[in-house]
Amino acid sequence: MRSMNERERIYNMLDGKSVDRAPTGFWLHFPDKMHHGDAAVEAHLEFMRQTGTDILKVMNENLLYDGESKICNSADIGKFRGYSRKDKIFTDQMDIIKRISEQARDRYPILATIHGLIASVFHGTGFAGNYSSMGYRLSMFCREKPKEMQKVFEIYTDTLMELVDCSLEAGADGIFYAALGGERSWFSHDEYMEQVSVHEQRLYNHIKDKTKFNVLHICKSDIDFTRFTILDPAVVNWSIYHNNLSLTEGGKLFPDSIVLGGFQDRSGVLVDGTEEEIKAHTKKILKEMEGKPFIVGSDCTLPTEISPERIRCAVDAVKCSV
């Protein structure tokens, strides 16, 4: 089979056609000084040059937050607000996507990052970065004031649908939807399905209506995956190491989805291993997923400080496997 470029490789896989090799998709949060403007654009392009990975994922550091509100308890729920393309949060992110797309879209398939419904509502509380210790408050709000929180979820769903539209208009090919809320310890299964999933389904169906290149990333550990199987994504990614759910087992849960993953994100072979260990692990996961649509990547974002040579080593190992 002839060699394909990055864009052809991804779209052939999405269309169920043959590919010359497994695609690769790795990403990380860039340093704070590279979150906006020229620095953000160049950081993404340089990352692609240095690593050789196939998918260009545009990070999103423009969180849905007004910069002032603190929503600490259910009495503050009225402080939640929606956003639109008129807000600077939107225009800044669209500018980054547009400028990256103008320079890279002919070669790379471009994903725009959309923080999921639970993540975005939590960002609106003013405590972004503290989800692990404070995210439980959203489930408390839902129990204390369910009607008010249903309205909040409706507002944020509309906001995120507009952000999806704006991201694609700006030049992204697809959407990377980063989902929180699957943790069993906060929402019960029934609570999530009745209070959150009904809105998330509307949002994700909108994404699928707009683009076939949609990636569902399921964040965190102790996940109830049945909360997300109903979304039926084109591509699915989760923490295989923190959830004791292998690539093969996850593929059975999402039988119609392309699986993305294989490496740990914050430790393990890619972060701490030798070059030979990275190559051996790449060979191992390719063998496990042989004959199945598969994108080599990691559980989540890699450490900001990781050497791009480590990622390049994994990418080169995939190329050499053909």
pLDDT at residue number 265: 95
Q: Map out the domains of the chain as residue ranges.
A: 6-320
Question: Measured between alpha carbons, how far is 231 from 202 in angstroms, rounded to an integer?
Answer: 9
**Distance separating alpha carbons of residues 21 and 9, to the nearest angstrom:** 8
User: Does the structure show a pLDDT above 90 at 322?
Assistant: no
Rounded to 5 degrees, what angle do the CA atoms 16, 25, 94 make?
100
Instruction: Mark 202-235 as b/e (b = at least 16 C-beta within 10 Å).
Output: bbbebbeebbebbbbbbbbeebbbebbeebbbbb
pLDDT tens digits for 61-115?
Answer: 999 999 999 999 999 999 999 999 999 999 999 999 999 999 999 999 999 999 9
- What pLDDT shows up at residue 244? 87
Question: What are 293-302's pLDDT values in tens digits?
Answer: 999 999 999 9
pLDDT of residue 1: 78
pLDDT band of 223, cuts 50, 70, 90 = very high
Residue 95: φ, ψ to 5°: -65, -40
Q: What is the Cα gyration radius of the chain?
A: 19
- For the sheet with 258-263, list strands across it: 24-25, 294-298, 258-263, 235-238, 214-218, 174-179, 110-115, 56-58
pLDDT tens-digit series, residues 20-54: 999 999 999 999 999 999 999 999 999 999 999 99
* Per-residue pLDDT at 2: 85
For the segment 305-319, the average pLDDT, to the nearest whole number, is 98
Look at the alpha carbons of 220, 76, 190, 203 in this order and tell me if their dihedral is positive or negative.
Answer: negative
Confirm if 314 and 302 have CB atoms less than 8 A apart: no
Inter-residue contact 234 to 213 (CB < 8 Å)? yes
Cβ(164)–Cβ(206) below 8 Å: yes
Lookup result for tokens 């990975």: 53
For the chain, give the mean pLDDT: 98
* pLDDT score recorded for residue 153: 99
Q: What class does CATH assign to 6-320?
A: alpha beta
